[in-house]
Structure 1
């Protein structure tokens, strides 16, 4: 599991205003200083922390300097603090609480629509489904041939009856049935399918139990599997051979199941989460 970057540019932190910086308090070092000390104690570099959390290097430096103006808002700042704290092996909650005390407390739940606009990933253009088009064309041709045969039988019967007079009317020949089987739509994976998911694949199910949320899902090649709103009560299931990358616009509204197991993580309402799961990672790391 990893938390990614906010949609900020890579300008150096000294070129941006420092209005969101958090000064040190009498209770101990500041948030950035505490994260920096924990990183050094863990023997990690800024590049290593950035790679494991997907938080860009300039933003890591800015946070360690207590400059949160580059995070893109309080929701992203809290997410970055949690990600960096977990990466360096410290409890993120006291740092998030200290950040809230210095920035107006816990934010109100964020609606999914603004998050959808801010985090939206541009979908790849859909390719035309040539298989479905060919099936439709074959069915149309068979239907036309059957109709022509039926009309031809009617015309010949009528002409014969008009010429001979005493010949009884012939019945219409039935059109030839189509031998082409329709293409069945690919069904969504059920709960039983998740429970019996193969061990050589990763299966992720999302259930919008608490409310609607924007979600994005990608396979291991970076191709988009889904990008849009999941309304309350709806579910989506994704499966890949290697890994699945997720972005949850309102993680507190989502029930998450990985490889048949429910993920019990304290996601808060309005919290944005970027998650990565593999076939060997059934729970949040």
Structure 2
């Protein structure tokens, strides 16, 4: 039994050259990765799920198309990741990629990046936006407080102006006994109605059995009131000649005209159009 080469010039089986390895070295990067993936029994989806590299990029790299990678740095990273996933040594593939694409990209200096991150907070200017927002909020708060305070102090005046010269309150305001009597304008009360002047028409409308919408106009057609009268509320209107009324729910309303109670039996829910003049109550 001889040791070494056989007489016919053939090598022992365990000393033959690695022809498969040489063939693999001649494969392109993409073909080498694809062949290793197939031999490992993996699909493109398997490799994509394992590496989190998108399927389209895996397929492009296996076809030696590195454009979808977005640059040499990303292409080298994908090659390294895919090679490890299919059990290949990434070093030869990376060396081939560098040789075919102009060499390994220069690393980005770490110091300037660190300095930029360190210096950036120091160059910040004052936060003018926050200051302006705070100033605007303060101004709005002051204006709102002023408006609310003015509204609280002017409620009585607003009511009087909205109703014009027409008396609208249903009950007189209690006043101290030592205060001078107020201007003897007729108030919407039974005593005021009883003392209604003879040269004018005075109409008191009271919602005694519920609420009702009412409308009141003078002899010129000027609107004296148009709105909802809630239960317990009362309105009094005066004119030199005539008062025209519309009652949305006449059954809920009690009328006093020129000091006299109107005894008409208005039906609940009935709409009544009424006209009253000077002297005895007259329904127009």
- TM-score interval, smaller chain: 0.3 to 0.5
When normalised by structure 2's length, the TM-score is: 0.34
- The structure with more helix, counted as a fraction of residues: 2
When normalised by structure 1's length, the TM-score is: 0.34
Larger radius of gyration: 2
- Which structure has more RCO (C-alpha within 8 Å, separation ≥ 6)? 1
